[in-house]
Every structure is written in C-alpha cells, then in structure tokens.
Chain A
Amino acid sequence: MYILIAGGGKVGSNLAATLLKMGHEVTLLDNDRNRYAVLESRFEHVARYGDATELFVLERAGVERADLVVAVTGDDEDNIIVCQVAKEKYGVEKSIARVNDPRNQPHFDMVGINLTVSATATILALIEHELPAHELVTLLDLRRENLEIVEFAIDAGSPAAGRTVRDLNLPNGSRLISVSRAGRAEIAVGETELRPGDLVMAILEPGAEEELKRVLMPAAV
C-alpha cells in the first residue's frame, strides 16, 4: 500500500517507521524546516518538506495514487483540510485524522471524515469503562456501520434481573451479544437469564440507547 502521512511529529514519524517495516510505501510530509531536517536524516527520501494542505505539495507527493492518507499534524483545521481535499479532489477513499481538541470532533464528522483518533476521547472512554458506574458504557463506536457496542451492568433493581433474554422485549435495532458472570462470558441466547451482577454486552443502532436503558436499568430516581 502507498500511505501518505501529513505531520512528522512523534505520532507521524513512529507511524512511518512502523509502516515501512511492514513493507508499505510511505511519504511523510512536514512543513517545519528543523523537523524536516531530522526526518530527512532518519527516513531519507520518504520524508518530504512541504505544507500538506497545499494542493501542489500533495500532488508532488503522489496523493492521487495513495491508498490511504493519515493526517496527524498538531492542527485540527489542517488535518480536516488534508483529509477533505484528499477525498473530494483526489479521490482517496480512506483517510484517518487525528483530533487534537475534542471540541473539534463535530467538524471532522461534518465533512465526512469518519475515522478519527482523539487521545482525550480515548482516555475518557477508558475512564468510563474502568469506573464502576451502572450506566451504559460505549465500548466500540462503529461509525461506518452506524452501530455501537455497549456494556452495562445488571443490578438488583434492574427490571431485567431474573428474566430471560427472550422475555426482555428489547427495542428494535438492538441485540444482546454476551453475558459475563463471575469472570466468564457466554453468548447471549433466548433462554439466557439475566442476574444481578451480570455484565452484558449489546450491539445497537445509535438512537436505541434510551429505550434499551429503560428495559435494562432501574428507573431513574
């Protein structure tokens, strides 16, 4: 694969090194002179000097034949423009962008960049998962498929405790995947009975969350 990386900081340069090792063809773009000098001595012709939001820079780097564009500069607007231009002008279907400020996430979504990575959002998701709250926790957001995988705990007050999956009356657009009890997980089937203390994983369409909460969690006090 030919992969174009915009931004040669810690993220970009380590990605480039790993992808090269995996046998991919890589171009690493950076528009900081000092940083470029370091990158050039490490990566030689793989590193290129230039602003990846300039169309001629992208063209000279062969953006048209890129299989994937990765925008990991420290500037969210630049990352948005790189991915948008690569897709809309040069027909690069796949792009991955780094979100530096999570408040900019809606702007990435708006222009259709559906693969984004945000350190803050990732850490928040981990905190959400590690804190023992009886809330719906999102484990995986499958944006492209418009589905998400969530986890929640059944406690004694849950209307689902003591009932089988078949009797739960789950909302449309949701399915239970597995039930984990005392450290052992099993695939959820119709006759699986939910008990207090169970950790349940479900797959659902965004929008089905509220109804699913009503079926599985105690009514809010």
Chain B
Amino acid sequence: MKLLIVGCGRVGSAIASRMAADGHDVSVIDDDPEALARLPEDWPGRFVQGHALDLEVLIDAGIETADACVVATDGDNTNIVIAQVAQKRFHCPCVVTRILDPARAAFYSSLGLQTVCATSAAIETTTQAICATPGRTG
C-alpha cells in the first residue's frame, strides 16, 4: 500500500515508522527539515520538506497515487484544509485527519472527513478511569 503522511511529529513519525516496517511504501512531508530525525536511521521511505498546502509539494510526495493519507501536523485548521485537498482535489480513497479540538472534529466528521480526536479519547479514558474507582468510601 502507498501511504502519504503529512506532519512528522510524534504521531506522524510513529505511524510512518510502523507502516514502513510492515513493508508499506511510505512518503512523509514536513516543513521542518529537522523532523527527519524522528524517523529511523535506516528510513526506507521518502521525506519531502515543504508545506503540504503547496500543491506541488503534495504532488511531489505522491498524493496522486497514494492509497491512503494521514494528516497530522500540529495545526487543526491546517490539517482540515489539507485533508479536504487530499479528498476533494486528489480523490485519495482514505484520508485520516488528526484534529485536537473535539468540536471541529465532530463537525468535519459530519462533513465526511475521517477524523481522529486525541482530546476526546483522553477525556473519555480519564472519565472512565475515575468512575471505575470506588473512591475512599468504597
């Protein structure tokens, strides 16, 4: 499978490393050249330095032939715009977007984006952990 990952931070680099280790063809975009250091030393995939809102950068990184695209930069609004470009302009069959704000994640998911919201997951897990304990009186 051909995979494009936008944003090589903690999330993006970890997904990239795992998918490449599983034998997938992975291409990564980040505007910071230093982000390459987050990938393994024997990184087998591509690393394209540039801003992913730049159509030429996306095309250079292989968006036109990618089977899936993960959008995980550190900006929610940037992610939302890039994800829509990947989906609507380049018709990428699978686009998964990280959105930290639960409200925007819910809204854009209703518009047809596949969103992942770590904040909602943290809220859910934390609440469940608290509710699962009997407390001092139990």
Q: How many A-B residue pairs have CB under 8 A?
A: 47
Q: In the bound complex, what is the Cα–Cα distance between A55 and B85 (angstroms)? A: 22
User: Does A32 reach chain B (CB closer than 8 Å)?
Assistant: no
Q: Output the least CB separation between A68 and chain B (Å).
A: 21
Chain A residues near B84 (CB-CB < 8 A) = 107, 110-111
Q: In the bound complex, what is the Cα–Cα distance between A36 and B111 (angstroms)? A: 32
Contact call A75/B77, Cβ cutoff below 8 A: yes
Q: In the bound complex, what is the Cα–Cα distance between A89 and B107 (angstroms)? A: 8
Chain A residues near B78 (CB-CB < 8 A) = 77
Count of residues in A whose CB is under 8 Å from the partner chain = 19
User: Does A54 reach chain B (CB closer than 8 Å)?
Assistant: yes
Q: Are A110 and B104 also in contact (CB < 8 A) when A77-B75, A77-B77, A103-B54 are?
A: no
> Which of B81, B89, B103, B111 touches A54 (beta carbons < 8 Å)?
B103
Chain B residues near A89 (CB-CB < 8 A) = 107
Contact call A77/B80, Cβ cutoff below 8 A: yes
Chain B residues near A78 (CB-CB < 8 A) = 77
Q: Output the least CB separation between B64 and chain A (Å).
A: 15
Q: In the bound complex, what is the Cα–Cα distance between A77 and B80 (angstroms)? A: 8
Chain B residues near A106 (CB-CB < 8 A) = 55, 89
Q: Output the least CB separation between A69 and chain B (Å).
A: 15
Q: Output the least CB separation between A140 and chain B (Å).
A: 26
Contact call A77/B81, Cβ cutoff below 8 A: yes
User: Does A200 reach chain B (CB closer than 8 Å)?
Assistant: no
Q: Output the least CB separation between B80 and chain A (Å).
A: 6
Interface residue ranges of B54-110 to A (CB < 8 Å) = 54-55, 75-78, 80-81, 84-85, 88-89, 101, 103-104, 107
Q: In the bound complex, what is the Cα–Cα distance between A76 and B82 (angstroms)? A: 12
CB-CB nearest in chain A for B88: A110
CB-CB nearest in chain A for B75: A77
CB-CB nearest in chain B for A104: B53
